[in-house]
Structure 1
Amino acid sequence: MSNSKATVSSAGEPVAAGLSAAQLIEFYRLMYLSRRTDDREILLKRQQKIFFQISCAGHEALLVAAGLAMKPGYDWFFPYYRDRALCLALGNTVEDQLLQAVGAADDPASGGRQMPSHWTSRQLNIVSPSSSTATQCLHAIGCAEAGRYFTQHPEAAKKADGDYREFKDVKFHADEVVYVSIGEGSTSQGEFWESLNTASNSKLPVLYVVEDNGYAISTPVEANTPGGNISRLISNFPNFHFAEVDGTDAVASYQAMVEAVAYCRSGKGPALVHGHVVRPYSHSLSDDERQYRSEEELQADALRDPISRMQMWLLREGILDAQGINELERKVDEEVQHASDRALAAVLPQPDTILRHVYSEDFDPTTESLERGAEPTADSNERTMLDLINACLQDEMRRDERIVIFGEDVADATRDKELRAGKLKGKGGVFKVTAGLQKEFGNDRAWNSPLAEANITGRAIGMAVRGMKPVVEIQFFDYIWPAMHQMRNELSVMRWRSNGQFSCPLVMRVPIGGYLTGGSIYHSQSGESIFTHTPGVRVIMPSNALDAIGLLRTAIRCDDPVLFLEHKRLYRETFGRSAYPGPNYTIPFGKAKTVKEGKDLTVITYGAVVPRALQAAQRMQREKGVDVEVIDLRSLSPYDWEAIATSVRKTSKVIVAHEDMLSWGYGAEIAARIGDELFHDLDAPVRRVGSMDTFVAYQPLLEDVILPQPEHLFQAMSDLAAF
């Protein structure tokens, strides 16, 4: 234990590290409670009554210290799977945790959807984690930014607390601290380093806890971390408070946590406590550490077990005698036994609940009642898609102070003194879509992010969890892949995995597609099918200015995360220009638009293929007398099956066309469903038109062959019409 000498004193007076004898006894009780809960889960797993077990054993002293140093329901917590003792210290019960282990319907963390040890509590501000390592570091950053934002924008906080459906109880405090923890192996992940950058730059009140037990499953720390010590690597980050501590020493751990939390609350910046702990049990019950750890090493760790160390210290210092220890442990054993009995008798979730919380149940963006028509305005000039997207962002930022916009180069000028003085025009994005937003709304509502797409997405998730409405930009779809981990494993599943306790409704605007003449491999990609394959996210792709403003407004007001795909070629096209329809114009999701009526053949498409399909359809009318109907889906997930079915039943011939590669593309699902459900209405096979199964080349001669052109569509229409 710590070198700090404890002194026996009367009840309530400090004994060690500012803790009274009663508090120190409670400290040990929580540690022992965590260990015995682990042991109970191990027993249940061996009895095949639960399905997975991963323990907190060896981490208890460090984590109880963190829990006692912070404020549940006041501070915010982004834990990882070792943090059982932290959550017990914050107010989680053993029954709460064992209900998760059995996967009960009343599991308060996830309703049986997550593995055990994925702690979640709306009441305690414990945000639902995933099994992915270090992703939560960026969520903690966004959460801290949101807390700071609310203290500076009280109207936004009121809206989050009242109007916003998912967050009736948004809580923020000027001195709140955001806790995030990871193992030492997870410090290898890029999200950890990206989060350090932003925490340091912005002096955010984030407390990092690195629980260093020396192993990432079977990989020892020296193989993960140069020099084997993360504290040495990060020691030069400015604005940080750093502490390295023996995490098996309860008193020393508590002292370190109290100092770190105080530093964060003071507004000086973030803190990181690096605790050296032990792992007396294997990584999980599916692992056998004896295969890669020697008996001598395991025995050495056993001598540092925090449970036995704390017990001996209490005895040595006269805070508890043997009888007191035995009585405390007996009561804990009874508590765990009773909690286990109740958990094993709990009702299991029913299959009819599976789809609950995939999407918001309070706000349906597909309902026709959302539709608002155009309003007469003084400005009747036709504008481009780019212009009306910018106008929508301005409208919505004026309407709702919770909306913030950030991404790479989206601000007018980060160093804005000359901008304010009129010496700079400002950038506002590589396509100028966000031009003027920073100038009008200020640096705290429109700003430039680091060049790191996971940073953009992960921070937005943390903000949205708190009730903000981030609208972020990924500069090019081609560079969305670093964000994919955050999107697939975090953004899409937050509501479902927390059983509706948390959600992250945000908008990701992404310029997409080719037809650029010189865009080449890394500025011409499509890949929308990857995201429409992901439940929990809405995917929208307009083809014209009016649809863009109406659908973007719905996206911003939606309760679900929305991937809003903006085709780069269409930003400034003459095709599809429109007058500004007013600040309330909205279009529901999942409603296709028939852009050309026809009776002989249907083309189902979206994005930049829409104008190309219209060209081909007009040529078919002129040259062959074939009347082609063209349907613009606009919304890819959800999509308008009724409009598709109605048109196919009318024409009996159908082409599904898209810019992305033909094989495994978005059109394959539409074609398959038509074949499955409308087979008897067809007079010809379903045809698909897409790009070649390769990459987009730089040379325009090659690009024209690779991507679907009006000529390709005309040929497919001609073949199908003649069938």
Structure 2
Amino acid sequence: MDRDQLLTLYRNMLLARGIDRIEQELTSRGEAFFHLSGGGHEGTAVLANHLTTEDWLHCHYRDRALLVARGLSPRTFFDTLLCNEFSPGSGRRMSAFFNDPELHILSMVTPTGNNALQAVGAAAAIKEVENTPLVYCGVGDGTTQQGEWLEAVGEAVRSSLPVLFMVQDNKWAISTTTQGKTFYSLPDGKQATDFFGMPIHYINGTDVVTANRYVGEIVAEIRATSKPALIVFEVERLTSHTNADDQTVYRNQDDIDEAQLNGDPIRSAKQQLLSMGLTESELNIIQSQVDDQLAAAEQEALDAKTPLASLDASRQHPVEVTHPSKEKFGSDDLPQINMKEALREVLTNHLLDDSRVTLYGEDIEDPKGDVFGVTKGLSTRFPGRVMNSPLSESTIVGAAIGRAMVGQRPVAFIQFADFMPTAYNQIVNELATIHWRTDGQTSVPVIVMIACGGYRPGLGPYHAQTHESVMAHCPGVDVVMPSSAHDAAGLLNAAFKSERPTIFFYPKTLLNDSKQSTSENVHDQFVPLGVGHKKRSGRDITIVGWGNTVSVCEKTADALEQVGIESDVIDLRCLTPWDQQLILSSAEKTARLIVVHEDNQTCGLGSEIVATVAENAKVPVAVRRVTRPDTFIPCNFENQTEVLPGFKRTLAVAAELLNLDLDWEEIPVKEAGVEYIEAIGSGPADESVEVIEILIQPGEEIECGDPVATVEATKSVFEITSPVDGVVSEILCQVGETVKVGAAMLKLSTDASIRPKPITQEQHGRPILTRRKSENTIVLTHSLPKRRAFEVGLSQVQYNQGSKLITNEFLLGENTEMTNEDIIRRTGIRQRYWVDQNEDAISMAVGSCQKVLEQEGLLIDDIDLLICSTTSPMSMTPSMACRILNGLSTGKETMIQAYDISAACSGYLYALQSGYDFLQSTPNGRVLITTAEVLSPLLDLDDFDTSILFGDAATATVLYGESHFEKSAAKLHRPALSAKGEDGTTLSVPLRNSGFIQMKGRRVFQEAVRCMMSSLNRVCTQDELQIEELDLVVPHQANQRIIDAIQHRISPTVFSNIAQHGNTSSSTIPLCLSEVLPAAEQDQKIGLCAFGGGFTFGAGIIKTL
């Protein structure tokens, strides 16, 4: 080292010592509160002579002189001490901890040793960069006993990474002496010569000239070999640990005096400079210049303002990442893939699109490709970028943080959520805080992918937990947990786009679930962060889940639908941030909220959700949680199903909130002498297996343990063996068939005593729900007091049908693939009526209206409003209502309100509600409602899914306001209506001459039963009735199977006349009433319910007079 270099080093060490002096003074004056000195450690500044601008520094907190030599200004030290607005972390960091991306100074850690794994990750990222940069990792001697530091050294050696580990050995860990207690200072007093195969370089840190030479040689060797090196830099600590410490309590005065006399690198450097010819006067001038520079920096820092407090620890999301409109779905028209395949494809796409993306975790390289197969094939396709890690979660996450800090986009894999606690330190103290503590100067967009959850035999403690509440509690990270392939793909794409650290939990039991698949174009799919997914809509109860529990929520909603209860089922999917607005608005609507999650109850995320609702809801909301109790998950699967939230427990809680009685139909007992051999999987993610070979024949005798079939599962090909001796009665599967795990493959006859099989799913019989009256019924409070509604009545109904009687035989013609009986079995229809060439919807509607006006003794001028419900308008303008009005006016001008309603098969109920509301404002009025449906011209006669269903009919009904109520045949209660959007692919009726009616019958069946039942339940609740109190239910006559399904769910008789008329859309209910009302006894309560395309649906109640 020449004189100029030593002089520069001396000046930097003086600056560092002067910074310490001023910081101590500010602390003593009460203008600052914490000071940590680097006195005695200034010799590390020699490293700056051998570093390039491309090297990265992850410094020790006593590396103050090295930081000055690297270029960190004195002002920055004082700004940080005073926590002012110009400090690197805007007042968030303690005074000894810095970062400067431009100088390649990584954000210094406070938990000692946390920097080591990050340094290793950074070194792995830059290893192949030109100019052979290295990463410096500085620690104290006490830190060398940290497990993560030891892991880092091992990984650096194993992977041959360019890291310079410098242990600054001052022989103290605060008050604990370290001599004889480190890996290099042995109990027998000797010094180790190597560690993990690396030579240990012992350097006297007080002799900066000699230290400079040795450090230069070691740095050069790292650059030449790209291998790590280890220096023990022997120094003295010249002060107490911090201003809060008094070293005289544990350190004798002789030791302190000796350190001051012989352990000061500045004193040593000064003597070297004097020996090189500099004078005391020249050195005093340098000291004076340093003092002036520091005094100016101190004053500038004291004049700076206090920073504004930050209320958010995360980088702000752009609107493209969070707005609900940004969600992009898959397509049903493309090949479908499951969650595992979707995750793999998304990772593939990002590996292709961004060279910075790397994957790091246990067993993720081929041929294993992850224990669940998520990364299968990726290491072969992207060698060097999809890498196996050591068996250490802290290494996986810590190294990923380091990679991210130097510009890469790492994805870290943790095999099971149960092992996440070993990485907790790196996640919570580092990954979550770096953006916040650097005031956004450094971001660490690490995605941590974690397989989680239970609900599978063979899982238990340490392989079945989720731990999402622990991560959601931590500011600074996004936390997601998908339940479907689409959400998995969309959320992973969002995590990459957000550039925020993300904890990505994926339930392993859902990886191969084909029911929750998505299309293969996952690159285009996107789920905005913080946006929940409403899986279904309802108005009676809100059920919220995520991950595995979403299917529990949906199954509960299915059971509730059987008694007409509508459920809002919400998949939260993004747990931090979570969709507060969606849940709050739903809970306010339904007044009942259940949150279902796998994590244990105390401080679970469900607590946060119900607390938020309790604090913010504008109406009373009854809330419940269904969770794992505060215990662990047993391996015994029967016990596991009792511990984890399941269908039985969730339905019981829902029944309690909804005032339902719940009983369970017992599971049938197996027949004696029969054993079924069921499909089993190779692991918890297996939903199904493929039959490769069947090894037995019907009639063959087999023994316990004999192989019966070879199957292929996710992880392997294996044989299924017989659990008993017996004779093969029946083979229930075929080679090449995919069989669901738990499904029977073979049937055996056996005399053996059959032990109960271990269960593979929650055991429950069929739920039996019945409604009960209770004073504790939860209802929404109304903002306005109720007033008495004016009474509204309706007349007897008149109708016209098409004049052409169309039998099933006529429709079938020469078709031999279907018979009359087939049509009756599928639809219940024997005949329907179609218009002839001289009839149309207007003429039939006019005729019906004339009949009802004559029946009621009215003229058209007595009517105040005419409403026409139609699915098949003959023109858009004039409206059908106006054209019918024209037909009724017989040449004279009649002026009343008239309009059409287009609500498909629910149109009659929509018209009743409109008429009812009109008569509340006009109680002395009358409303004429007509339905005009001519669908036969829109039928494709070769499409037997639609042509056999529809008939043509028009009807007319008069509604009376309270002033004319005595003329009514029945009292009308206000109908309850609703709709939910559909794109027309399930059911569509085109305009005339533009196509044919299209319908997907199975979907229509499911929606129709569900919606009519829920609507009927709603209108009964509205009128303070039970469905069982109705005397008759008149549903829309869509299909006899739908009518039968409704009858199966309720006790009142369900009326049907579909056999004679077919489906006449909005005319079906009034056609039924034309038969029902004349024969009805007084005071009968009749429920009406309908479902139509759109989807529209609703229900109403009339009471005969």
Measure the CA separation in 2 of the matches of 1:265 and 1:123: 22
Paired letter, 1:66: L
Structure 2 equivalent of residue 703 of structure 1: 640
Higher helix residue share? 1
Measure the CA separation in 1 of the matches of 2:210 and 2:320: 52
CA-atom RMSD, angstroms? 1.8
Structure 2 equivalent of residue 340 of structure 1: 298
SS in structure 2 of the partner of residue 365 of structure 1? helix
Of 223, 226, 235, which residue of structure 2 is paired with 1:277? Answer: 235
Paired letter, 1:429: D
Higher strand residue share? 2
Structure 1 equivalent of residue 376 of structure 2: 435
Structure 1 equivalent of residue 336 of structure 2: 382
Measure the CA separation in 1 of the matches of 2:312 and 2:613: 27
1:99-178 paired onto structure 2 within 5 Å: 99-107=79-87, 109-149=88-128, 151=129, 173-178=130-135
1:534-549 paired onto structure 2 within 5 Å: 534-549=474-489
SS in structure 2 of the partner of residue 36 of structure 1? helix
Per-residue deviation, 1:361: 5.5
Measure the CA separation in 1 of the matches of 2:299 and 2:150: 43
Structure 1 equivalent of residue 268 of structure 2: 309
SS in structure 1 of the partner of residue 523 of structure 2? coil
Higher-Rg structure is 2
- Structure number with the bigger relative contact order (C-alpha 8 A, sep ≥ 6) is 1
Structure 2 equivalent of residue 617 of structure 1: 557
What is the number of residues matched between the two proteins? 657
Please say if residues 471 and 556 of structure 1, whose CA atoms lie closer than 8 Å, have aligned partners that are also in contact: no
1:231-246 paired onto structure 2 within 5 Å: 232-233=191-192, 235-238=194-197, 240=198, 242-246=200-204
Does 2:532 correspond to 1:550?
Answer: no
Per-residue deviation, 1:67: 1.7
Please say if residues 241 and 269 of structure 1, whose CA atoms lie closer than 8 Å, have aligned partners that are also in contact: no
Paired letter, 2:50: A
Of 610, 619, 622, which residue of structure 2 is paired with 1:681? Answer: 619
Deviation digits for residues 448-491 of structure 1 (CA, Å, limit 9, x no counterpart)? 00001111101111111122111110010000111100000110
Moved more, 508-517 or 229-238: 229-238
Change beyond 3 A, Cα 1:233–1:595: farther
Please say if residues 34 and 60 of structure 1, whose CA atoms lie closer than 8 Å, have aligned partners that are also in contact: yes
Please say if residues 463 and 469 of structure 1, whose CA atoms lie closer than 8 Å, have aligned partners that are also in contact: yes
Per-residue deviation, 1:665: 0.7
Does 2:426 correspond to 1:519?
Answer: no
Change beyond 3 A, Cα 1:595–1:584: same
Paired letter, 1:603: I
SS in structure 2 of the partner of residue 266 of structure 1? helix
Of 307, 321, 328, which residue of structure 2 is paired with 1:372? Answer: 328
Does 2:353 correspond to 1:396?
Answer: no
Structure 2 equivalent of residue 199 of structure 1: 156
Does 2:209 correspond to 1:209?
Answer: no
Per-residue deviation, 1:309: 2.1
Does 2:417 correspond to 1:480?
Answer: no
Paired letter, 2:101: R
Measure the CA separation in 2 of the matches of 1:200 and 1:711: 54
Structure 2 equivalent of residue 658 of structure 1: 597
1:214-363 paired onto structure 2 within 5 Å: 214-222=171-179, 224-225=181-182, 228=185, 232-233=191-192, 235-238=194-197, 240=198, 242-304=200-262, 305-315=264-274, 317-351=275-309, 354-355=310-311, 358-360=314-316
Structure 2 equivalent of residue 3 of structure 1: none
Structure 1 equivalent of residue 20 of structure 2: 38
Measure the CA separation in 1 of the matches of 2:358 and 2:213: 38
Provide the TM-score with structure 1 as the length reference.
0.88
Paired letter, 1:333: D
Measure the CA separation in 2 of the matches of 1:395 and 1:346: 48
Change beyond 3 A, Cα 1:38–1:28: same
Per-residue deviation, 1:268: 4.1
SS in structure 2 of the partner of residue 199 of structure 1? helix
Change beyond 3 A, Cα 1:318–1:549: closer
Structure 2 equivalent of residue 50 of structure 1: 32
Paired letter, 2:74: V
Measure the CA separation in 2 of the matches of 1:77 and 1:355: 30
Moved more, 223-232 or 127-136: 223-232
Structure 2 equivalent of residue 159 of structure 1: none
SS in structure 1 of the partner of residue 238 of structure 2? coil
Change beyond 3 A, Cα 1:218–1:65: same
Does 2:45 correspond to 1:64?
Answer: yes
Deviation digits for residues 268-327 of structure 1 (CA, Å, limit 9, x no counterpart)? 411122111001100111111111111121122122222222222322x14322212222
Paired letter, 1:525: Q
Measure the CA separation in 2 of the matches of 1:115 and 1:610: 44
Measure the CA separation in 1 of the matches of 2:191 and 2:457: 49
Moved more, 41-50 or 203-212: 203-212
Structure 1 equivalent of residue 609 of structure 2: 670
Per-residue deviation, 1:375: 5.8
Change beyond 3 A, Cα 1:469–1:369: farther
Please say if residues 147 and 176 of structure 1, whose CA atoms lie closer than 8 Å, have aligned partners that are also in contact: yes
Paired letter, 1:320: L
Change beyond 3 A, Cα 1:401–1:551: same
Change beyond 3 A, Cα 1:369–1:250: farther
SS in structure 1 of the partner of residue 635 of structure 2? coil
Measure the CA separation in 2 of the matches of 1:36 and 1:575: 69
Moved more, 275-284 or 139-148: 139-148
Of 447, 459, 478, which residue of structure 2 is paired with 1:507? Answer: 447
Change beyond 3 A, Cα 1:252–1:375: farther
Does 2:68 correspond to 1:88?
Answer: yes
In structure 2, stretches of 5+ residues that fail to align are 660-776, 778-1105
Provide the TM-score with structure 2 as the length reference.
0.58
Measure the CA separation in 1 of the matches of 2:353 and 2:61: 40
Measure the CA separation in 1 of the matches of 2:247 and 2:353: 57
Sequence identity percentage: 33
SS in structure 2 of the partner of residue 222 of structure 1? coil
Paired letter, 1:656: V
Measure the CA separation in 1 of the matches of 2:389 and 2:351: 19
Does 2:535 correspond to 1:595?
Answer: yes
Per-residue deviation, 1:362: 5.7
Per-residue deviation, 1:233: 5.0
Change beyond 3 A, Cα 1:405–1:232: farther
Per-residue deviation, 1:436: 0.6
Please say if residues 83 and 117 of structure 1, whose CA atoms lie closer than 8 Å, have aligned partners that are also in contact: no
Measure the CA separation in 1 of the matches of 2:3 and 2:184: 39
Measure the CA separation in 1 of the matches of 2:193 and 2:555: 58
SS in structure 2 of the partner of residue 447 of structure 1? strand
Change beyond 3 A, Cα 1:361–1:38: farther
Please say if residues 206 and 269 of structure 1, whose CA atoms lie closer than 8 Å, have aligned partners that are also in contact: yes
Please say if residues 68 and 90 of structure 1, whose CA atoms lie closer than 8 Å, have aligned partners that are also in contact: no
Measure the CA separation in 2 of the matches of 1:599 and 1:25: 79
Please say if residues 332 and 519 of structure 2, whose CA atoms lie closer than 8 Å, have aligned partners that are also in contact: no
1:544-583 paired onto structure 2 within 5 Å: 544-583=484-523
Please say if residues 127 and 226 of structure 2, whose CA atoms lie closer than 8 Å, have aligned partners that are also in contact: no
Does 2:564 correspond to 1:607?
Answer: no
Please say if residues 121 and 128 of structure 1, whose CA atoms lie closer than 8 Å, have aligned partners that are also in contact: yes
Change beyond 3 A, Cα 1:368–1:23: same
Moved more, 539-548 or 264-273: 264-273
Per-residue deviation, 1:519: 1.0
Please say if residues 575 and 611 of structure 1, whose CA atoms lie closer than 8 Å, have aligned partners that are also in contact: no
Per-residue deviation, 1:360: 3.9
Deviation digits for residues 342-392 of structure 1 (CA, Å, limit 9, x no counterpart)? 1111122123xx146622466762134643343687xx4432211211121
Measure the CA separation in 2 of the matches of 1:504 and 1:229: 38
